[in-house]
Structure formats: structure tokens, C-alpha cells
Amino acid sequence: MVPHSHTDLGWVKTVDEYYSGNDINGQHASVHNVLDTIIEELDKNPERKFCYAEVGFLQFWYQRQKPEIRNLVKKFIKNGQLEIINGGWVANDEATPNFDDIINNMMKGHEWIEKTFGVKPTIGWDIDTFGHSAANTRIYSELGFEAMFFSRMEGYEKHVRVQEQNKGMNFLWRPDKDHFGNQHQIMTVVFSIDYCHPAGFLVGAGYEADDPFVSDESLSTYNAKDKAVDLINWA
């Protein structure tokens, strides 16, 4: 299980509305609450981990934090509890931008990460990009990424790849050779159920939410054991 971010820098709301949580009719989303609670929960248990991808929001939030919170973030990045993945200013589209737009987006995010935390992302993360390009894949490979993960894929191809005998959801993607004749490649992983949750496990998302885990055995609504078994069986 990989706890991870999915924070759009603009989609159906403005960047400020996403950050502050305003306009709940547009979408239930409050990025500062996401980041606040990530740090709170990582601090409670050193075995907890989280992956964060969208650097634009991370910088926006980080600059507004007190020194003690900034120090916690640096601590969690150093000890591996908090990993910055992808590292672009945004999770860029792959269809309409030119390659230099993608490079500039990654450069802006990676420069800030290295300057602030002294680390470099090693994983590409495009869980909600609508379509994937060989140009983007080659850029990720040349960035030195070890692997890339995404979820959206054309329906029929995904149906074929997900079949047990094909085992095609993990593969080496080899885009076109560069003008020096070098063949680049990157380990690629496609999620079988997009970036979503198993049935019955949508927690904390307003009116759409499923029943939460209830671990108090004195309550008639206690369900933690059954839910744990369901999750293990699904995995």
C-alpha cells in the first residue's frame, strides 16, 4: 500500500481554492489540510510513510510553515518517511505540451527540491494523466528515474494487459532512440484499478464515503476485523 498525494494545481477550482478548501461545491479538496495531517501522522509513528508528488503546492505550503514544522519535513525526507516523487511543479499533461514545456516543469520543481532538501526524485508518477507519450517517457529515463507509474490507459489495451497470462501491467518502456542512437528505457507500472480504492474503502470523502474503520469493540458498529479481512482478501 502506497499512501500518496493527488493534488491538482488547478482543475475545477483555482489554485488558492484548492489550497484553502474553499468552494466545496466545485470539489471537496483542501491541500493545506492534507499536508498538515500528513506531517502530524508521520510524527506519531516512525514506521509510517507518504509519497508527495506536486511540488508547486508543497512549496506553497512549506513557505507558510513555522521553523519547527519545516525541520520535521526535512527530518522525514532524510529518514525516508516522506518521499518526493516525480518532482515536477505540476503533474504535467503529456499530450499537448512540447518537450521543452515538460522539461521546464520538471526543472522548476527539481531545482527547488534539491535546493531546499538536498534530494532528487527517482520515481515518475503520472497517476491521472490522460494518455502517455514516448517523449515524456524518454525525458523521465534521461532524468535518471528508476521507474514510472501511471493509471490511465486505453480501455481495450488495459483489458488485454491485465489478464493473468499476459502479466502486461509491468513492462520496460523503450521509446525511440535519441539522435546518437542510444536506446533509453524505464521500468513502467500500470495500476489495475486506476488510482482508486477497493470497493468499500473510500474513507473521509464527504457524502460519497463508505463506512469508516471502527476499532472500538464496545460499540455495536465495530467492524475493524471484518474490514481488515476484506482488505487482505482483496490484496
Active-site residue list:
128
d(CA 136, CA 103) in angstroms, rounded, equals 9
Phi-psi region of 86 (alpha: psi -120 to 50; beta: other; left: phi over 0): left
Place of cell 517517457: 137
DSSP 161-197: HHSTTT-TTEEEE-----TT-PPP-EEEEE-EEEE-P
State the cell numbers at 25. Answer: 461545491
Q: Collapsing DSSP states into helix, strand and coil, what is residue 19?
A: helix
Q: Which residues contact 149 (CB under 8 A, 6 or more apart)?
A: 123, 124, 125, 126, 127, 188, 189, 190, 191
